[in-house]
Amino acid sequence: MAPWWAKGSHKGTSLVVKMENPNWSMVELEAPSEEDFLIGSTPTGSREKIRGKNAKQLTWVLLLKAHRAAGCLTSITSTFLSFGSTVRRRVAFGRTDDNDIETDENKAVKTGFYNCIKVFLWLSLLLFCFEIAAYFKGWHFGAPNLQLQYILSVPVGFKDLFDWLYTHWVLIRVAYLAPPLQFLANVCIVLFLIQSMDRLILCLGCFWIRLKKIKPIPKHEAVADLESGEDSFFPMVLIQIPMCNEKEVYQQSIAAVCSLDWPKSRILIQVLDDSDDPMTQLLIKEEVHKWQQEGAHIVYRHRVLRDGYKAGNLKSAMSCSYVKDYEFVAIFDADFQPSPDFLKRTVPHFKDNEDLGLVQTRWSFVNKDDNLLTRLQNINLSFHFEVEQQVNGVFINFFGFNGTAGVWRIKALEESGGWLERTTVEDMDIAVRAHLRGWKFIFLNDVECQCELPESYEAYRKQQHRWHSGPMQLFRLCLPDIIRAKISVWKKFNMIFLFFLLRKLILPFYSFTLFCIILPMTMFVPEAELPAWVVCYIPATMSFLNILPAPKSFPFIVPYLLFENTMSVTKFNAMVSGLFQLGSSYEWVVTKKFGRSSEGDLVSLVEKGPKHQRVGSEPNLDEIQADLKQEQKTRKTKHNRIYTKELALAFLLLTASARSLLSAQGIHFYFLLFQGISFLLVGLDLIGEQFRVRPQ
């Protein structure tokens, strides 16, 4: 009789294992049968037979696991070989950010900043070799609790010169290096906590808005059918599309704006072309002419001298004599595609609301899933719009104008001084001056305008440099005006401390200083301590909060945290350039667009609009493609670069992570290791779009 644990059906179940290796054949493994459980009551011969069968099955299972392990090792090896090949191509090509003619940084400033990073790198390598030698000579310390009593108890007669040097090095760092380093770390920790509290309050404000379903509602639902015109609110609206050498996207923006659902007699579209490329100028002129033939009220303007960049372009357009006939102006950058009902959902908010100067809408991104870089940008900008802009708009009626996808009351622009070319953030400049004049802003989170994210790290890096140097320029210029302005003390505090200092200056300062300089240095000066909650827990919590507006991006929370710290070097450099008015802070580089979705979006817009519009737009696609093919030979070759500052910081962090192993600091080691790898990938330009270029 079989024991209780052998009762029931144990019929053999076939398990088919397919080996990918052609040297292996298909094998059938049987599941345990009843005989396998009756070893005690079976004859010796049967028992040996069962053992042999079990051994055979075990052998095949082990072979299967070995095969899987070999496949995993092959995949890892292939990845490393591909990585090594890419690195060799980067080095062989020799293109770095230093020899870029169109670099967004002043050469002297950039070299000085890079030299400072190199000093920390060489110092860390020297100290690491020193610490390795001390470790093998028996100097084992558990950071940060160093026992000075052991050092002081060493006899006067030292074993050798190395012990004497290392002992004095430890005493020097305890007495002279650790205190200032710990003080700077504590200052950065305080700033980190203040900024984290600000981020938490913003998230709570966003949660309250969602809970109470707070939403700006126009005082007058003013849009009836276009044909009836009864009880309608159709003021005169000026549309401006500033662009400069953006042949990849001009067609989709013009088509989208010309498809806006608004009476043609009450709208004028200005295409403000600052292009210095004759072919681009010709293409844009042809596109404008074709829409004019279709009945669109659209004009083409070109400046010979590109003074003041975008601000100068907008200022020149506003000086036209016919502008006085218009009450509102909507601005769209060249890659933006407003939906046909854009004006109907924004302009009515101005009705019976004379204090309202700006209606800003949210951006959405047509290429947010193209690569890792665009996914990470989507996380950042989703938080910016849904949390920062929405909360500030609801509770304060002030936020920074995003430069596009917004509608201004022309009277507010004129009373605030109009567009000024004094900074590279003309959008933030006019918003600050309008707020000081008492104008209110509204942010519409439910009205989206499609646009394109930069897909290459080079373009994103230049964009971030401009976005973080400009606010510091503006802060220096606007501080006296803010202090003298006749607004409440709370609004002055919000603008000076929260808007400028905390979010534009303190954030890049502590991000770079704390995680890229102080943390690695504490590995070599272990008497200065950074708690684990500063290194891991709070940053992880803040990343979690940042990613909430983009819940589909949760799998990228760790890359997001690492990439934000990696970008801190660019943002810190830009902040310093703008604060001290260095040369690179005044450079304007147009963000490169690729027009990934231009053809599909154009077709969809044409299908929604009148059929006669399609006739004027479709033939131009073939013509443009032919023109672009002819230009391919004269175009500049696209290529990836090596970013020296990011690479230097990568080696600094990786060296510090190796040093942390000697002190058995687990969390610090993993953070430094993965952060160093992140800097390495960015330094080799392995994030974002990859160009296949052979070295010359």
- Pairing mode of beta strands 237-243, 27-30: unpaired
Which pLDDT does position 347 carry in this prediction?
Answer: 94
DSSP string, 318-379: HTSGGGGG-SEEEE--TT-B--TTHHHHHGGGGTT-TTEEEEEEEEEETTTTSSHHHHHHHH
Q: For residue 456, give the amino acid letter.
A: S
- Pairing mode of beta strands 440-451, 267-273: unpaired
CB 128 within 8 A of CB 588: no
Which pLDDT does position 1 carry in this prediction?
Answer: 45
- What phi and psi, each to the nearest 5 degrees, are found at residue 470? -60, -45
DSSP 8-state code for residue 692: -
The distance from CA 187 to its chain's CA centroid, rounded to whole angstroms, is: 26
- Pairing mode of beta strands 14-17, 27-30: antiparallel
Superfamily of domain 234-369+399-453: Spore Coat Polysaccharide Biosynthesis Protein SpsA; Chain A (3.90.550.10)
208-217, 222-231, 582-591: range with highest mean pLDDT: 208-217
> What is the spatial distance between Cα 528 and Cα 524, in angstroms, rounded to a whole number?
9
Domain boundaries, the chain: 105-148+192-214+455-595+640-695, 234-369+399-453
Which pLDDT does position 572 carry in this prediction?
Answer: 94
Q: Does 393 have pLDDT greater than 50?
A: yes
> Smallest Cα–Cα separation from 561: which of 435, 439, 472, 675?
675
> Smallest Cα–Cα separation from 464: which of 417, 512, 421, 496?
512
Q: Which tops the pLDDT comparison, 434 or 163? A: 434
Least confident of 3-7, 134-138, 651-655: 3-7
> Smallest Cα–Cα separation from 459: which of 602, 335, 558?
335
Q: Which residues of 89-103 are buried (b: 16+ CB within 10 A; e: fewer)?
A: bbeebebbbbeeeeb
> Which stretches of 18-167 are assigned E, i.e. beta strand?
27-30
Does the bond joining 144 to the residue before it have cis omega, within 30 degrees of 0? Answer: yes
Q: Does 121 have pLDDT greater than 50?
A: yes
Which pLDDT does position 123 carry in this prediction?
Answer: 92
Least confident of 56-70, 116-130, 146-160, 322-336: 146-160
Q: Which residues contact 409 (CB under 8 A, 6 or more apart)?
A: 327, 328, 350, 356, 357, 358, 439
pLDDT average, residue stretch 89-116: 64
What is the band of 45 on the pLDDT scale with cuts at 50, 70, 90?
Answer: low
Least confident of 262-271, 355-364, 551-560, 631-640: 631-640
Q: Does 5 have pLDDT greater than 80?
A: no
Q: Does 100 have pLDDT greater than 60?
A: no
Greatest extent of the chain over all pairs of C-alpha atoms, in Å: 110
Least confident of 108-117, 268-277, 483-492, 669-678: 108-117
Q: For residue 460, give the amino acid letter.
A: Y
CB 348 within 8 A of CB 444: no
What is the band of 609 on the pLDDT scale with cuts at 50, 70, 90?
Answer: very low
> What is the spatial distance between Cα 653 and Cα 671, in angstroms, rounded to a whole number?
9
Cite the active site residues.
Answer: 274, 427
Which pLDDT does position 461 carry in this prediction?
Answer: 93
Average pLDDT of the residues of the chain: 82
> What is the spatial distance between Cα 254 and Cα 627, in angstroms, rounded to a whole number?
19
pLDDT average, residue stretch 556-571: 95
Q: Which residues contact 232 (CB under 8 A, 6 or more apart)?
A: 222, 223, 224
Which pLDDT does position 27 carry in this prediction?
Answer: 44
Taking phi over 0 as left and psi of -120 to 50 as alpha, with beta for the rest, 510 belongs to alpha
- What phi and psi, each to the nearest 5 degrees, are found at residue 271? -95, 105
> What is the spatial distance between Cα 373 and Cα 640, in angstroms, rounded to a whole number?
14
Which pLDDT does position 634 carry in this prediction?
Answer: 45
pLDDT average, residue stretch 634-639: 56
pLDDT average, residue stretch 384-404: 95
pLDDT average, residue stretch 155-159: 50
Query: In what helix (H) or strand (E) does residue 73 lie, and over which residues does it extend?
Result: helix 44-93
Percentages helix, strand, coil for the chain (3-state, rounded to 5) are: 60, 10, 30
pLDDT average, residue stretch 675-690: 89
Q: Which residues of 170-181 are buried (b: 16+ CB within 10 A; e: fewer)?
A: beebbeebbeeb
pLDDT average, residue stretch 388-401: 94
> Smallest Cα–Cα separation from 316: which of 272, 358, 284, 277?
272
What is the band of 583 on the pLDDT scale with cuts at 50, 70, 90?
Answer: low
Q: Which tops the pLDDT comparison, 554 or 41? A: 554
pLDDT average, residue stretch 506-524: 94
Q: Which tops the pLDDT comparison, 632 or 129? A: 129
Share of the chain above pLDDT 70, in %: 75
pLDDT average, residue stretch 431-436: 96
What is the band of 640 on the pLDDT scale with cuts at 50, 70, 90?
Answer: confident
> What is the spatial distance between Cα 499 and Cα 167, in angstroms, rounded to a whole number?
48
Structure confidence by residue, pLDDT tens digits, 197-212: 999 999 999 999 999 9
Which pLDDT does position 630 carry in this prediction?
Answer: 54
What is the band of 191 on the pLDDT scale with cuts at 50, 70, 90?
Answer: very high
Q: Which tops the pLDDT comparison, 282 or 149? A: 282
Structure confidence by residue, pLDDT tens digits, 9-31: 444 444 444 444 444 444 444 44
Structure confidence by residue, pLDDT tens digits, 55-98: 777 787 788 888 888 888 887 777 777 767 766 776 666 566 65
pLDDT average, residue stretch 546-562: 94
Which pLDDT does position 228 carry in this prediction?
Answer: 53
Q: Does 606 have pLDDT greater than 60?
A: no
> What is the spatial distance between Cα 203 and Cα 546, in angstroms, rounded to a whole number?
9
